[in-house]
Structure 1
Amino acid sequence: MTHIPELRMTRQRQVILDELRSVTTHPTADEVYDMVRKILPRISLGTVYRNLELMHEAGMVMKLETAGMQKRFDGNPAPHYHIRCINCGIVRDLELEDKGHDLESTLKTDFKVLGHRLEFYGLCPACQSPVEH
């Protein structure tokens, strides 16, 4: 990830960021586009995609990438974990009990660690329930 030192905050970027931070559903770019169009009806899908990528590179938002799934975005760029439903694809924040140590500092490797990603997955409550007819 290339880090952009300072990203000029245009009205479009501010609306995209505000809308993304107003939800905890970790929306796809298409879903962010649908939200933003209610405020900026003339914005294009490409503009939303580009700005989400730029804001990710600037460290303003988190991009969640999982094989076989659409990228999702999180308005909270602070380090935290997620859990994903393997059936419907929803993503939620996951709180882990702090054990008082930095996970990266416990690694035994000759790699220079630049970061980590830990993904939990399972079935959300709705997908665990039998379908009602």
Structure 2
Amino acid sequence: MELKFKKLRQTDARRIILEEIKDLTSHPTADEVYEIVRKRIPKVSLGTIYRNLEVLSENGQIQKMEVGGTQKRFDGNTSNHYHLRCVACGRVIDLTAKPLKEIEKTVSKLTDHEILGHRLELIGICLSCKAHKH
């Protein structure tokens, strides 16, 4: 998926938030991003974090993951990929399988739409939560 980023004013907070999210594979919540960024900018506010996460997401520089009943999570990997979320602890991991490429091509042919991308989240219970359940 090719996105044309809007030219955003580059603030220290925005730059650091983007750097930190790009370095993480844990798909952090806004609160987790806040705790990480506070180590570099001690006086940053939670509101600044929330606003910048929304702006970066709207601009296509990060991916916002919204699932009903759970906190939003953010992903620095904006390429097409899939997620597996534990319904017990909320942990999210990336999956690298690419089974939807053919579906994209078929849908494009059938509908004459240019397919820009897709999102897929699988849900389950992680090994750690499964072990605690027994």
TM-score with structure 2 setting the length? 0.84
Confirm or deny that 1:129 pairs with 2:120: no
Confirm or deny that 1:15 pairs with 2:20: no
Is the 1:4–1:57 contact (alpha carbons within 8 Å) kept by the matching residues of 2?
no
Shift of 1:102: 4.0
- How many pairs were matched up? 129
Amino acid in structure 1 at the alignment position of 2:106: T
User: For residues 88-103 of structure 1, what are the structure 2 equivalents within 5 Å?
Assistant: 88-96=89-97, 98=98, 101-103=101-103
Q: Percent identity?
A: 49
With 36-45 and 5-14 compared, the bigger mean Cα shift is at 5-14
TM-score with structure 1 setting the length? 0.85
Take 1:38 and 1:26, find their aligned partners in 2: how far apart are those partners? 18
User: For residues 1-133 of structure 1, what are the structure 2 equivalents within 5 Å?
Assistant: 5-96=6-97, 98=98, 101-107=101-107, 110=111, 112=113, 115-130=117-132
Amino acid in structure 2 at the alignment position of 1:104: E
Shift of 1:110: 4.2
Cα deviation digits, residues 33-83 of structure 1 (max 9, x gap): 111011101111111111011111111101011111110000111111100
Shift of 1:117: 1.9
**Runs of 4+ in structure 1 over 6 Å off:** none
**Compared CA separation, residues 94 and 75, structure 1 to 2 (3 A):** same
CA RMSD of aligned residues (A): 2.3
Take 1:111 and 1:46, find their aligned partners in 2: how far apart are those partners? 42
Shift of 1:20: 1.2
The residue matched to 2:74 in structure 1 has which SS?
Answer: strand
